[in-house]
Amino acid sequence: MSPPNTTQPLTRDTLLPLGMAAALILAAVTCTWYLSSLLNEIRSDVKSALNDRWSTSDMERWAYRLEKDNRETGIIVPDPRKSQERR
C-alpha cells in the first residue's frame, strides 16, 4: 500500500487564495510603512515644538534689548520678572 498523495497541484482553485494572501501581505506592509511614517512625522513635530520654547532668561534678554534699542521712541516695556510673578 502506498501513502496517499497529500500535495495539491496549482490549479485555478488554489491560485485565487494565493493571490488574496499576497494582496493581504502587501496591504499589511503598506499600512505598516504608512503608520510608521506618520508616527515619525508626529514625533518630529513634537520634538521641534518642545525646542521652540522661550526660557525666562530669553524673555528677559529680549525685553531689555527691546527697551535699549527703543529708548528714544518711548516704547514702554514691562518688566518680565514682574509678569512671571503674577502666574
Break the chain into its structural domains and give their ranges.
21-51, 52-82
- pLDDT interval class at 3 (50, 70, 90): low
Confidence (pLDDT) at 39:
95
Confidence (pLDDT) at 18:
79
End-to-end C-alpha distance for the chain, whole angstroms: 91
Instruction: Supply the mean pLDDT for the chain.
Output: 80
**pLDDT per position as a tens digit, 29-70:** 999 999 999 999 999 988 888 877 777 888 888 888 888 888
- pLDDT interval class at 85 (50, 70, 90): low
